[in-house]
Chains A and B, each alone.
Chain A
Amino acid sequence: MDRRDLAWYVDKTAQWVIFAGGISAIVFIVGIFIFITKEGLDFVLGPLNLGEFFTSIAWRPTSNNPTYGALALIVGTASVTGFAMLLSVPLSLGAALFIAEFATGKTREVLKVLVEMLAAIPSVVWGFVGMSIMHPLIMRIFDVPLGLGVLNAGLILGLMAAPIMTTIAEDALKAVPDAYREAAEALGATRWEVIFKVVIPASRNGLLAAVLLGVGRGFGETMAVLMASGHAINIPTSPFDSVRALTATIASELGDTVRGGDHWGSLFTLGILLFVVTFVINLTADIVVRGIRKK
């Protein structure tokens, strides 16, 4: 075996090692599904009553006669995420438009860095901010007895989801060829008209994907929602009502369960639900983005 043979063997080995690394993401995503399904399966096939799960608000896993109604948790997650999106979709799309279309030079760089830093703040810090800064602030401003609820968690979540939406939306706007803008400007269109009649329609899919990924982020957020939402099982009727999210329920209850018990299984079932929904959101975003590349 001479040096060239050796180089060939090394090359083949490296190729296989790198291939193994290459499919690692698939292995892990499948692994996540298998492991949470494995722990949740006994519950899903046994005590789970789908009708009760989706229509009852009675989440009483520790009572003598336990019931597993997740409706309040689903509504809790949906209301907080919805409120967050109400705030952050317009703001982040506006910010993306400003950064991509109006800001130039230093301003642009500084804003991009700020948005990136915003994305880096850990969720437990956001939760702490919700509890200790926003909580008293909301009580004082709106004169309500409790500042932890949909409003607080929604505001926090909105600020958390904004950077990812801004970044992806800005990428989508940047991907519109300059020739489109130039053509419109040559026809006498103002900057405003260029943006609304040319750039936004051309980057529609990318903007939609940005919003979807923002929704996914809000939907799956755990610590901040756990700390800022009040964590009471409740169908909210006002923004000041306290709610409980799917993610937060898992985080707060898993530590007290017995392995293999129904309560344990029910929490993994919530995990399966979260996994499936985020998977669908990400898949949709991927398909939507692919739609533009084909064109």
Chain B
Amino acid sequence: MEAPMFSATPLNRRSYRSQSVAKAVFCLMTVALVIPVLLILGTLVVKGAPAISWEFLFTAPTNNLTAGGIFPALVGTIWLVVVALLASVPVGVAAALYLSEYAPDNLLTRAINLAIVNLAGVPSIVHALFGFGAFVLFFRFNASILAASLTLAVMTLPVVIVATRESLQAVPHAFREACWNMGATRWQTIRKVVLPNSISGILTGVILEVSRTSGETAPIMFTGATAYLAFLPESVFDQTMAMSYHLFYIATQATDVPEELTYGVALVLIAIVLMMNAVSIAFRIYLRGLKKW
């Protein structure tokens, strides 16, 4: 009797099996990456949650950092992030505009791209050395919010540039051509057509930068972060406490800090970072759904 025409031959079955095995193995590898992280997050939540209360968030630490809250560190992180954004967003958007709207395909453009990759790849502690040598000593800002924020700004510049460039390039070229044909200059085209059509994408990048900036520790250790400050910073020339450095300090330097407190600080820090990150991702997915062209 002849086999039905499309039934699986042993060869088919074997190759189907090997395919499912491959799929299962790769799936397992993916899970192996994700599971430890979920476990770690779970542990942080379980151990840190009891420490968190309004009082924890809105009072200053007391008793040599072994009790009390984290208010000055929260405020300090907000200072650092805002000043860093003020410095890096204009420069980063300009850089992205140059790369997307002006740059010819030449050696300079290639050098710029390489510099961006390198800026993102240079170790954070080298950024710290640079910030210390340049902003603290050379420009004489001393250890201050300004010096720390500028160091953070240089370090996170690639985040803004890359995200902005992507959203600029997503604006169809025909939009620009239509505008040029009306006699508009390049700048008028950028100002009235390109930027309005990409502003939400740029915003996504900015939120992502907030997420990155608020978690960085090494770049601010020597340039403006301090372990304890009895008052809130009043200007950019003050030193400040910061969430990330506070966590480092109470986990490694301070003594007799109750475990619960340290977990609480870690939980708040990671909540800030992941929430900003999630907002950025959600915003991006929402925008993708809206796209008109």
> Do the beta carbons of B138 and A22 come within 8 Å of each other?
no
Tell me the residues in window 95-110 of chain A with beta carbons closer than 8 Å to chain B beta carbons: 95, 97-99, 101-103, 109
> Do the beta carbons of A254 and B222 come within 8 Å of each other?
yes
| Stretch from A48-56, A61-69, A125-133, A139-147 contacting the other chain | A125-133
B18 interface hit (Cβ, 8 Å) = yes
Given contacts A25-B95, A98-B26, whether A19 and B102 have CB atoms under 8 Å apart is: yes
CB-defined contacts of A221 to chain B, threshold 8 Å = 123-124
- In the bound complex, how far is the Cα of B192 from the Cα of A34, in angstroms? 39
How many chain B residues touch A (CB < 8 A): the figure is: 93
- In the bound complex, how far is the Cα of B197 from the Cα of A124, in angstroms? 37
CB-defined contacts of A195 to chain B, threshold 8 Å = 22
CB-defined contacts of B221 to chain A, threshold 8 Å = 251, 254-255
> Do the beta carbons of A24 and B94 come within 8 Å of each other?
yes
> Do the beta carbons of A21 and B123 come within 8 Å of each other?
no
Tell me the residues in window 86-144 of chain B with beta carbons closer than 8 Å to chain A beta carbons: 90-95, 97-99, 101-103, 108, 111-119, 121-130, 132-134, 137-138
Report which residue of B124, B125, B134 has the largest number of chain A beta carbons within 10 angstroms of its beta carbon: B125
CB-defined contacts of A222 to chain B, threshold 8 Å = 123-125, 217-218
Binding site secondary structure of chain B: helix
B37 interface hit (Cβ, 8 Å) = yes
A154 interface hit (Cβ, 8 Å) = no
Select which of B21, B126, B252 is within 8 A of A274 by beta carbon.
Answer: B126
Chain A 198-218 against B: per-residue CB contact (8 Å), 1 yes, 0 no?
000000000000000100110
| Stretch from B54-62, B66-74, B180-188 contacting the other chain | B180-188
> Do the beta carbons of B278 and A117 come within 8 Å of each other?
yes
CB-defined contacts of A10 to chain B, threshold 8 Å = 185, 187
B279 → chain A closest CB, angstroms: 11
Tell me the residues in window 149-184 of chain B with beta carbons closer than 8 Å to chain A beta carbons: 154, 157-158, 161
B290 interface hit (Cβ, 8 Å) = no
- In the bound complex, how far is the Cα of B40 from the Cα of A95, in angstroms? 19
> Do the beta carbons of A91 and B248 come within 8 Å of each other?
no
A281 interface hit (Cβ, 8 Å) = yes
CB-defined contacts of A129 to chain B, threshold 8 Å = 40, 44, 266
Select which of B123, B274, B277 is within 8 A of A278 by beta carbon.
Answer: B123
Given contacts A38-B133, A222-B125, whether A22 and B33 have CB atoms under 8 Å apart is: no
CB-defined contacts of A8 to chain B, threshold 8 Å = 185
> Do the beta carbons of A28 and B121 come within 8 Å of each other?
no
Given contacts A15-B102, A22-B98, A190-B18, whether A7 and B251 have CB atoms under 8 Å apart is: no
Q: Which A residues are within 8 Å of any B CB, using their own CB?
A: 7-8, 10-11, 14-15, 17-26, 28-29, 31-32, 35-36, 38-39, 90-92, 94-95, 97-99, 101-103, 109, 111, 113-118, 120-125, 127-129, 131-133, 159, 162, 166, 190-193, 195, 213, 216-217, 219-223, 227, 247, 250-251, 254-255, 259, 267-268, 271, 274-275, 278-279, 281-283, 285-286
What 6 A-B pairs have minimum CB-CB distances, sorted nearest first?
Answer: A21-B94, A122-B215, A22-B98, A220-B123, A94-B29, A98-B26
8 example contacts (A-B, Cβ-Cβ < 8 A) are as follows A24-B95, A29-B115, A128-B262, A132-B263, A254-B128, A254-B132, A275-B122, A282-B117
